[in-house]
Structure 1
Amino acid sequence: MQPVIDFFRRFKFRDAYIFAVILILTAFAIASAWPGNPDRYLPSFIPWPSGGGVSVGDWERNEFRLGLDLAGGVSITLEVAGEAAPVRRGESLNQFLDREGVSLDQILSLNPALAELENESYDLPLPERFAEIVLPLDVDDASIEEAVEESRRVIEERVNGFGISEAEVTVVGADRINAQIPGVDADEASDLVGSTALLEFRSIDAAQPQPQPPLDRLQVGAAIDDVWDATLPRDDSRFVRRADPYFIPPPDEDVIVANGVRWLPASGINAEGLTIQLSGRHLIAESISRTIDQGGSPALLFELDDEGARLMEQITRRLFESRGLLGIFVDGRLISSPSVNAVISDSGIINGLSEEDAVTLRRQLRAGALPINLRVLQSTEVAATLGEDSVIDTVQAGVVAFVAIVVFMMIYYRVPGVVAALALLVYAAGVMATFKLVPITLTLAGVAGLVLSIGFAVDGNVLIFERLKEELRLGRSLSGAVETAWARAWPAIRDGNVSTIITVAILWLFADALNQNLIKSFALALLVGTGFSFVTVIFVTRNFMTMAVSTGWIRGLRPFGVRQMTVRPRAGEAGSGEGGSPA
Structure 2
Amino acid sequence: MKNAGRIALVLLVLIVSAVLLYPSIKWYCFVSEDVKNLATGSKEQIRSYSRAKASEDGDALLALGGAAAIPKEYSYLIDEAKDRGYKSSSWDVSSLMGAFKNKSDLYSVIENHYRKEIMDAKALQNRILSLGLDLKGGVSVLLEADVAAFEEKLGHAPSAEEISSAVSQDIEILSSRIDQYGVSEPDIRKQGDNQILIEIPGEADTERVNSFLQGKGSLYFCLVDASLTNKVNSLYQNDPNSFFDENGELVTPSIVPNGKLMLGYYKSDDYSLDVLESLVVLDPTVTLDGSYIESSQQSKDNVTNRPVVNFTLSSEGGRLFYELTSKHKGEPLAVVLDGKVRSVATINDAISSNVQISGFTEKEAQALAITLKSASFPIDLEIVSMTSVGATLGDDAVKTGLMAIVIGFMLVIIFMIAYYSLSGLVADIALLLNLFIMVSLLSALSFTVTLTSIAGLILTLGMAVDANVIIYERIKEELKKGKSAYAALESGFKRAFWTIMDSNVTTIIAALVLSTLGSSSVKGFAITLAIGIASSLFTSLYFSHLVFSLFIKEDTKRFMISFKGGKR
> What is the TM-score with the length of structure 2 in the denominator?
0.66
3-state SS of 1:74 partner = strand
Q: Which residue of 2 aligns with 1:78?
A: 143
The residue correspondences of 1:407-486 to structure 2 (distance < 5 A) are 407-486=414-493
Match of 1:28 in 2: 19
Pairwise CA RMSD: 4.6
Give the deviation of 1:198 after TM superposition: 2.0
CA distance in 2, matches of 1:168, 1:246: 49
What is the distance in 2 between the residues matched to 1:345 and 1:541? 59
- In 2, Cα distance between equivalents of 1:308 and 1:136: 22
Secondary structure of the residue aligned to 2:540 is helix
Which of 258, 263, 273 is 1:257 aligned to?
263
| AA matched with 1:534 | L
- Please name the residue that 1:277 is paired with: 288
Q: Spell out, residue by residue over 1:434-471, the C-alpha distance to the aligned partner (whole angstroms, 9 max, x if none).
A: 22221121112222221212111111122122212222
CA 1:37 to 1:196, structure 2 compared with 1: closer, same or farther past 3 Å?
closer
What residue in structure 2 maps to residue 379 of structure 1?
386
Counterpart of 1:518 (choices 516, 521, 537) is 521
Deviation of 1:26 (Å): 4.0
8 Å Cα contact 1:282/1:307 also seen in 2: no
2:155 and 2:310 mapped to 1: Cα distance?
36
Which residue is equivalent to 1:165?
Answer: 184
Match in the other structure for 2:340: 333
Q: Distance in 2 between matches of 1:140 and 1:214?
A: 44
3-state SS, counterpart of residue 559 of structure 1: coil
Match of 1:502 in 2: 509
The aligned runs of 1:1-20 (5 Å cut-off) are: 12-20=3-11
More helix, by proportion: 2
1:366 aligns with 2:431: no
Task: Tell me, yes or no, if the aligned pair for 1:242 and 1:260 is still in contact at 8 Å.
Answer: no
Name the CA distance, whole Å, in 1 between partners of 2:435 and 2:349: 52
Judge conservation of contact 2:131–2:202 (CA < 8 Å) in 1.
yes
> Which residue in 2 is equivalent to 1:560?
561
Report the Cα distance in structure 2 between the residues aligned to 1:300 and 1:345, rounded to whole angstroms: 16
Task: Say if 2:552 is the partner of 1:530.
Answer: no
Q: Give the deviation of 1:153 after TM superposition.
A: 0.7
Aligned to 2:297: 288
CA contact (8 A) 2:226 2:332 kept: no
Partner AA of 1:556 in structure 2? K
Q: Pick which of 529-538 and 354-363 moved more.
A: 354-363
Aligned partner (choices 64, 79, 82) of residue 129 of structure 2: 64
Call closer, same or farther: CA 1:22–1:505 in 2, change over 3 Å: closer
C-alpha separation between the residues in 2 aligned to 1:314 and 1:136? 27
Within 1, Cα distance between the matches of 2:173 and 2:367? 13
Tell me if the contact between 1:449 and 1:526 (Cα under 8 Å) persists in the aligned partners.
yes
Distance 2:161 2:5 in 1: 66
Displacement after TM superposition at 1:317 (Å): 5.6
> Structure 1 residues 556 and 185, CA, compared in 2 at 3 Å: closer, same or farther?
same
The higher radius of gyration belongs to: 1
Could you tell me whether the CA contact under 8 Å between 2:224 and 2:334 is conserved in 1? no
Shift of 1:345: 5.5
CA–CA separation in structure 2 for the residues paired with 1:503 and 1:423 = 25
Contact 2:20 2:444 in 1 (8 A): no
Structure 1 residue 481 displacement after superposition: 3.3
Q: Percent identity?
A: 27
Show structure 2 runs of 5+ residues with no match.
31-116, 241-248, 265-277
Q: 1:135 to 1:31 in 2, by over 3 A?
A: same
Mapped pair 1:191 → 2:210:
yes
Cα 1:557/1:142, change in 2 over 3 Å? same
Q: Deviations over 1:478-512 (max 9, x none)?
A: 4543333223212221222223233334544663x
TM-score norm. by structure 1 comes to 0.65
Mapped partners of 1:422, 1:30: distance in 2: 19
Q: Any idea what SS the aligned residue of 1:28 has?
A: helix
- Find the residue that maps to 2:221 and give its secondary structure: strand
Query: Separation in 1 of the partners of 2:254 and 2:203?
Result: 34
Bigger shift: residues 308-317 or 468-477: 308-317
Rounded Cα–Cα distance in structure 2 between residues aligned with 1:509 and 1:151: 21
Give the drift of 1:151. Answer: 0.8
Tell me if structure 2 keeps the 8 A contact 1:154–1:368. Answer: yes
Stretches of structure 1 that go unaligned for 5 or more consecutive residues are 1-9, 40-51, 86-99, 102-133, 216-220, 227-240, 268-275, 567-583
Equivalent-residue separation in structure 2 for 1:60 and 1:70 (angstroms): 17
User: How many equivalent residue pairs?
Assistant: 458
Question: Alignment partner of 2:462: what SS?
Answer: helix
